[in-house]
Amino acid sequence: MKTNNKTIIVMLALAGCLLAGTSHGAQDFATPPPTQSNPVGKLLTPPQLWKDYDPDKGDFKEEIVKEEVTDGVRYRDSYISAYVVGQEIRVYCKYAVKAGALHAPALLNVHGWMQSANIPQDFVKDGWAVMSFDYCGDFGGKLKRKDFTKYPESLQHGNMGGPLVFNSFPGGKSITDPKQSTAYLWYALQRRVLSYLEQQKEVDKNRIGAQGYSYGGYLLWNLGMDKRVKAMVPYFCSGWCEYYRNKAVWMYNNPYVEPPKSSGEEIFLAGLAPEAHCPYITVPTLWLNGSNDHAGGHERGCENFKMFKPGVPWDFAVQARAHHNTEKLGQDGKIWLEKYVLGKDHFWPTRPKSTIRLDAHGVPELVVTPASKERVKNVEIYYALKSPANFARFWRDAACVAKDGVWVAKMPVMNVDDYVFGYANITYENTVVVSTDFNAAIPSKLGPAKATDTKSDLMSAGDGVGAWTGAAPAEGVGGIKGFRAIDNNKGTATEQFLDPKWKPALGAMLSFKFYCTEPQKLRLTTSSSSGSSQCELEITASDNWQEMVLPAEKLLSTSNQQPMKSWTGTDSLRLMPKPGSDITKVVFAGFKWVDAK
């Protein structure tokens, strides 16, 4: 395996989803005493772990800190008490519902890592009673917040600003009981808040749904065992972070090897990891993810549903090349919740079929057979080469041909002994998007495969827009096609360098064309296993296309200001405007590698 652990560490740090369970400093933690049902060291399944937890038990001790009616919506901020491992936690909650509502469907909205309780207004406008809560607690001065969940001294590991505990304590000693983990605290708070939500006078307790974003999606897999919830939509986090992601134990490592697990990892994986809950989930579940998301574990996330009990509805959609975004997945989440919580008669297709095979010439191809073919609006097929790390792949758009309700796309490879990955997104006429199963194969094991793809120095064939985020096709003078960024705040980026087809030769320089009639100043930033580098670009004005050639040494390390030695280790590239400039006014084209002169 050639996955570089430095790359993994950098990406996880940038993402802020630090699940490893070690931290700085020392602290005492409340340790539940051994009992007959929960002896220290025993591996408990989720149902065994939660057998004695009653989220309805104890007085809420509600304290309303703010309440108002604005534009016909009643907003309320409050604190309630939750009782976990014999301790009282004051949980901060936000609630919104249309004034005067009765028998309203309810939504529990679980926020992401280092975020705060928030109310999605689109659900409130549609008549839902929405509640969110804070589980992050005190940020330790990192962020100033007036209201947040208050953990007692013995449970300070619930605070994001303190030393979190997942499979081990600060210093590396393994947990001996799952209730020592911060994850257990946050799961327990979630269930307690659900009890609080269903007791609101406006709420129809028989129509409650849940959605969770990022780490909120992580927490939601535990809630999927709670029969009070009628449907849920976790975004991104599907589990497989602890041990698997953190130790680069990728599903398609070749050869595949699992290093020994610590006792703490064994305990966490058995009863606390999201994937551990899957055999016991009773709630209709839709998982939405980005193929390159650091916490999504694309292929392993898709595997979660093979553990579901028969008869429990589920589905998933994975946006190609996306990280923490799903804007191309339409109204999936809302449609799913309306279907299973409100009982609306929304069309939802049965699962499509897909497989990788060799064509008559030995070229791999993906074959996709959607359900309800007559209602299919569009089929997009993607494929990637080699990399076992899901967030270190560049997904190519594969041209597909449809015949008799079957879509086929060629997936040429450079090495028949390396993995090729493929999947498709199918969009239906009511905007529902579903993904096929994740397909992976080593072509040489399918038969007499042939490698027909070759390295290329030209990265942006055609307009090049498919390889860049936040970009749209554009045309400059002379009819030359290119692309432009569409959001001046986000700029545009590509991870095309992750594909072996476009890896530069040693000493190569990056060349590209640009067309702009007003001068702009941009910043180009790269990431690699050794860190990030950047340089400033002067986009001069002209009525004609111009060309820029960048040697690697023009970029300086963001950590030590040393020149970048080579483009060969580059994983991604981002273009952003400097203050006062507008990148949306620049048209780019013809990105390619050229020899040093």
Provide the pLDDT for residue 462.
Answer: 66
CA angle, residues 274, 187, 390, in degrees to nearest 5:
30
The last residue of one of the domains, among 342, 369, 397, is 342
Residue 457 forms part of a structural domain: no
Please provide residue 329's backbone torsions phi and psi, each rounded to the nearest 5 degrees: -100, 20
Residue 498 belongs to some domain of the structure: yes
Asked whether residue 97 falls in the same domain as residue 33, the answer is: yes
Count each helix (H run) and each strand (E run) in the chain, helices first.
9, 28
Q: The tokens 């007003």 sit on which residue?
A: 518
Does an H or E element contain 570, and which? strand 570-577
Sheet holding 353-358, edge to edge: 353-358, 364-369, 406-410, 400-403
8 A C-beta contact, residue 109 and residue 208 = no
Residue 41 lies in a domain: yes
Tokens in use for 531? 């860190």
CATH number where 22 lies = 3.40.50.1820
Beta bridge partners of 92: 79
Sequence-distant (6+) residues with CB within 8 A of 516 are 539, 540, 541, 542, 585, 586, 587
Q: Is 398 found in the same domain as 290?
A: no
In 3D space, the residue among 242, 240, 339, 346 whose CA is nearest the CA of residue 285 turns out to be: 339
Residue 450 lies in a domain: no
Do 202 and 292 fall within a single domain?
yes
Angle 301-494-485 from CA coordinates, rounded to 5°? 115
Name the DSSP class of 380: E
Upper half-sphere CA count for residue 482 (Cβ side, 13 Å): 24
Note whether 141 and 94 are same-domain residues.
yes
How wide is the angle at C-alpha 501 spanned by C-alphas 556 and 537, nearest 5°?
Answer: 30
Residue 159 forms part of a structural domain:
yes
CA distance 435 to 380: 10
Give the HSE-up count for residue 180: Cα atoms under 13 Å, Cβ half-sphere: 28
Same domain, 218 and 281: yes
Residues 6+ apart with CB under 8 A from 497: 394, 503, 504, 567, 570, 571, 572, 573
Q: What is the DSSP letter of 593?
A: E
Give the pLDDT confidence score for residue 431 in this predicted structure: 96
Residues 497 and 538 in one domain: yes
CA contacts within 13 A on the Cβ side of 242? 28
453 in any annotated domain? no
Residues 276 and 330 in one domain: yes
Residue 179 inside a domain? The answer is yes
Beta carbons of 232 and 110 less than 8 angstroms apart: no
Q: Identify whether residues 164 and 101 lie together within a single domain.
A: yes
* Residue at 410 is within a domain: yes
Q: Domain containing 87: what range? A: 5-342
Work out the burial of residue 394: count CB atoms within 10 Å of its CB; fewer than 13 is exposed, 13-18 middle, 19 or more buried: buried
CATH number at residue 391: 2.60.40.10
Cβ pair 172, 29 in contact under 8 A:
no
Q: What is the pLDDT of residue 144?
A: 76
CA 220-222-228 angle, to 5 degrees, is 85
DSSP 3-state assignment of 329?
A: helix
Same domain, 188 and 76: yes
Cβ 134 vs Cβ 110: under 8 Å = no
117 lies in the same domain as 192: yes
Nearest to 234 by CA among 212, 252, 219: 212
Contacts of 59 (CB under 8 A, 6+ apart): 81
Two tokens, residue 11: 């990406």
The answer on 108 and 183 residing in a single domain is: yes
Note down pLDDT in tens along the chain; length 597 residues: 333 333 333 333 333 333 333 222 223 333 444 444 444 457 999 999 999 999 999 999 999 999 999 999 999 999 999 999 999 999 999 999 999 999 999 999 999 999 999 999 999 999 999 999 999 999 887 677 899 999 999 999 999 988 999 999 999 999 999 999 999 999 999 999 999 999 999 999 999 999 999 999 999 999 999 999 999 999 999 999 999 999 999 999 989 999 999 999 999 999 999 999 999 999 999 999 999 998 888 899 999 999 999 999 999 999 999 999 999 998 999 999 999 999 999 999 999 999 999 999 999 999 999 999 999 999 999 999 999 999 999 999 999 999 999 999 999 999 999 999 999 999 999 999 999 999 999 999 999 999 999 999 998 776 678 889 999 999 999 999 999 999 999 999 999 989 999 999 999 999 999 999 999 999 999 998 889 999 999 999 999 999 999 999 999 999 999 999 999 989 999 999 999 999 999 999 999 999 976
Residue 146 CB partners (closer than 8 Å, separation 6+): none
Task: Specify the CATH number for the domain of residue 572.
Answer: 2.60.120.430
Do 93 and 199 lie in one domain? The reply is yes
Number of structural domains (the chain) is: 3
Query: Could you tell me whether strands 285-290 and 231-235 are parallel, antiparallel, or unpaired per DSSP bridges?
Result: parallel
State the alpha helices, DSSP H only, in 364-465: none
Please name the amino acid found at residue 184. Y
Please count the other Cβ atoms lying within 10 Å of the Cβ belonging to residue 420. Answer: 26
